[in-house]
Chains A and B, each alone.
Chain A
Amino acid sequence: MSWRGRKILLRPWLRMIGLVSLIVPRRLRADWRRQWEADLKFHESLHQKWRGNSWRDKRDLLRHSSGSFRDALLLQPKRLEEEIFQDLRYGVLRLRKQPGFFVVIILTLGLGIGANTAIFSIVNPVLLNPFPYRDHSRLMIIGQNLPQIGVDRGLYFSGPEYIDIREQNRSFEHVAAWEQVRRNLTDETHPGRPEPIMAAKVSGELFRMLGVEPVLGQAITAADQGPNISPVLVIGYGLWQRRFGGEAGVIGRVVSLDDERYTITGVMPPNFRFGFRNDNEAWFPFPMDLNQLSRAERAYCLIARLKTDVGAEQAQSDLRLIARQWEKEFLALHPEYAGAGLTPIALIEFILGIVRQALLALSAAVGLILLIACANVAGLLLANAIIREKEMAIRIALGAGRRRIVQQLLTESVLISLCGGALGLLIAYCGLQLLQAITPAEAIPTGAVIKIDTTVLFFTLAVSLLSALIFGLWPALHTRRSSLHQSLQETGRDSDASRPGKRAQRWLIVGEVAVSLILLVMAGLMLRSFGRLMQVKLGFNSDNLITARLNLPRARYQSLEQRADFYLRVIERVERLPGVKGIVVASDRPVSDRAVISHLAMNNRDNMSFTIGAAEAAVVHALNTRTVSPGYFRLMGIPLTSGQDFTNQDTTGKPGAIIINRTMANRYWPHEDPIGQRIKAESTDVCCEWLSIRGVVEDTVQGSLLTPTQPEVYFPLGQMAARYRRMNLLVRTNASIPELPNLIRREVLAIDKDQPIYDLFTMNELINRSVAARRFAMWMLVIFAGIALTLATVGIYSLMSYTVAQNTREIGIRMALGGQRKDILMLIVSQGMVLATSGIVIGLGASFALTWLIAGLLYGVSTTDAITFGGVAVILFGVALLACCIPARRATKVDPITALKCE
């Protein structure tokens, strides 16, 4: 028998047969293996006779043996199928016999799986597929630091700067520029129907860089850009459907944006978005040569695509070189370049900012909740398995293999978890509907649509099956280990074999409590932080205040006088409406509806440079500015602490007048009265070079509740109206008047029929919207912490109940021997509280380590806030105590005689 001697290891085709034979049913295994090995060895011997074992022969042998896998699989199915159906039927039977027990389990799982499904349906479109562009991970926004004029992470560049970056860089495939604008769209087919739309001026290479093809026509190319070229327009899908009826004939149609004519050349696909706002509906090329513009007029944002083999660090050093070059070459004419820096920021980081952090934190939170839920369910099933030991032992004695029993338990687990998954989907769906009702769309900056789609369904299925594995495996393995003989003899309670199971249950409870504590601490911190945020002093009266926006087209309102005149007429007409206490016009609203969650809110459009101080000590500063009509401060309820307000006499030709806020007064004139002081404007579109300070007002919120007040300069409308095409109306009313917005709109249209107003909100609405994202994250954490707390409580309660039920006999004996009810109570409660306290302590420690994860979301509260930590620990302690006391009280009601008699 010499063939037995040869080493099988060197013959992988034979090894494979050995491995595959493991899945062949036992009764067929020996025969099957014999057949395959014999044929393979024959095959081998043929090769040896002819050629000796070359690699081709080995390959043939491997191919031969690889078919064994299919053969083995085909020997399986019928029996496995039958067994699975049997198990399912048995599982459903058991469910019906113990409905209460299984309802608790399915509810627990439903909560855990539902929370995960909900978060995933948000994470999927926002983090995993955020942008409709080709390979968005290589797209970068370029930021600029100009410390000399106070620009930090600024987003705006001038035309020549853009050209420099585009031509001199070596890391980017394309660099494109864009400018966000508002336009009134009119066309001949819909006369008298002007429509305000958000649009963007873009440079020629943008669309190619984004890699998105239009559904109709063609996108903007480099050839479309520049002066003397007939202007083209690419519109969005929504606009195409809404205004042009989705007709293919829209290509070539001529429309007007603010009285400038454009030819439509392309329509973008439905999910396409680009720009700071997700509702951009049209894109058109720059009509001028960007290189010809002034180097100091910074109005354009830049986006670039990294070359395929270039990393962000390389791009960073590349940009640094360009900044150095600017400093060297242009410092004399442009002192702001001293110490200038350029930074590339990944697009997703830029758009999402802390939302990304928040979502990751939430994902971790729901993952933990799922673990708690599985732990609870495992504990319950474990307890159940211990009770079922006798049943299992009998089955094994009657011939069921252990593998069969494990298979049955796992099938039951899958059944339970699929029910839990279905419930979870329902919970997630309702939860998402609720969330969408209370959260405005701006909370999600990428404009993603959140819904339960096929990906989410697959995720839910995967999570359900994973849970089944987690909570099902433990009891199943436990069953395998238990001793047959002992189980048959025992009365099914508290046998030695179940001790490891009991220990595991205790550790599960400790873990649950710890995780709940972590989540509660995070929720508590968010709640306190949000409370602080809502207490921030606005500095003005926000009640009964309506805001609206207007965009004046350049063509018809070219001069300062035309614009100022228009606004005056609007003020006159609206003031006369019933219920209106007053109306003013301002270049910006005190609170922006864009939450400060990312770089998006850095709006230094209204930032201008001023020289402050005596000639020798003069320093250039970049300051926030605002242009307001006279009476603004009185209407807004902003106190004028010294000096005087603007009047209607502050127009062009008169000396430049400004009003400053208290922060600016304190910073630059700390020991003297700033009234009458003069500062010099360095920007070109200011009315006058020298500005005299007319008054000082109190600080107000600027743009966002979160940013500390910066120095601010107010200009009078009569002198600065030329600079702004978009203006905000602020209307104070006596009380809330629902039809007022329409009345205002009517008045404005009466002055100019092509002038729509938009973005009509009350001030309080705006404030709510500005904190929408934060509130969203906060509510999510609160909900999840609540779920975790509920699950942990249920876990403690079930464990204690079970312990009491198991130890009824012992309790009966104790009481018969003279034990007091009080002592029994203390015994049970102390058992449970030891676990809870351990969990709390561990949880506190972990919280200290982990709260930095949500640091970016907090305001005014430290990550180790003692009140929150302490409060949560106390709450959890109290709840755990309650959960222990109820079963403990039941224990004290045990009648010793009944207890001794029961089995």
Chain B
Amino acid sequence: MGKNYLSYTMALILQAVDNGYRYGFEVMSITGLPSGTVYPALRRLEDAGLAVSRWEDPGVAQQEQRPARKYYEMTGEGSDVLLEARKRFKLLEQLQPQLESKLADEKG
């Protein structure tokens, strides 16, 4: 996979990450893709430099009585590539509402 070319599935996943669905499980739930697709894709995105991974704050995890999870964040480069992908797959943008606006709706 070239750095500047995202397949539809990869673009979907990257967009989910961009929209704030940072953990593998959340990406699975929101995109409907199986775990065997999502986790390898996230790793590939990281290898390609389009995302970075971090372990969540252990304090938060301990509070909820579960182990700390890994989450992903999009990089600047990832943002550029995603924009490119959105131009190709016009449907992408319409598929997922922004998390922020959703939160805003809930607050408001």
Contacts and interface: CB of A to CB of B under 8 A. Distances in A.
A180 to B, nearest CB: 62
Interface stretch (A41-49, A125-133, A835-843): A41-49
Interface string B51-95: 000000000010011111110000000000000000000000000
Interface in A40-65: 41-43, 45, 63-65
Closest 5 CB pairs of A and B: A67-B35, A67-B36, A70-B36, A38-B69, A38-B67
Interface size class of B (residues with CB under 8 A): 20 to 34
B4 interface: no
B69 A42 contact: yes
Interface of B: 23-25, 28, 34-40, 43, 61, 64-70
A39 B25 contact: yes
Contacts of A43: 25
A420 B60 CA distance: 62
Nearest to A70: B36
Contacts of A69: 36
B8 to A, nearest CB: 19
A2 interface: yes
B67 A71 contact: no
Given A39-B25, A67-B37, 12 more contacts: A3-B67, A35-B39, A37-B67, A38-B67, A38-B68, A39-B23, A43-B25, A45-B65, A45-B66, A67-B38, A69-B36, A71-B35
Given A35-B24, A39-B23, A68 B67 contact: no
B34 A67 contact: yes
Nearest to B70: A35
Nearest to B25: A39
B48 to A, nearest CB: 14
A66 interface: yes
B35 A64 contact: yes
Given A35-B24, A39-B24, A2 B36 contact: no
A74 interface: yes
Contacts of B65: 2-3, 45
B70 to A, nearest CB: 5
Contacts of B64: 45
Contacts of B36: 66-71
A68 B34 CA distance: 10
Contacts of B70: 34-35, 38-39
A71 B25 contact: no
8 contacts: A35-B69, A35-B70, A38-B70, A43-B25, A45-B65, A67-B39, A71-B39, A71-B40
A757 to B, nearest CB: 73
Contacts of B24: 35, 39
Interface string A464-508: 000000000000000000000000000000000000000000000
A41 B67 contact: yes
A37 B28 CA distance: 15
A37 B37 CA distance: 17
Interface string A1-32: 01100000000000000000000000000000
Nearest to B53: A35
Contact of B35 (A3, A34, A68): A68
A45 B69 CA distance: 13
B102 to A, nearest CB: 19
A63 B29 CA distance: 13
Nearest to A36: B39
Contacts of A38: 61, 66-70
Instruction: Point out which of A3, A39, A63, A66 has the most chain B C-beta atoms below 10 A from its C-beta.
Output: A39
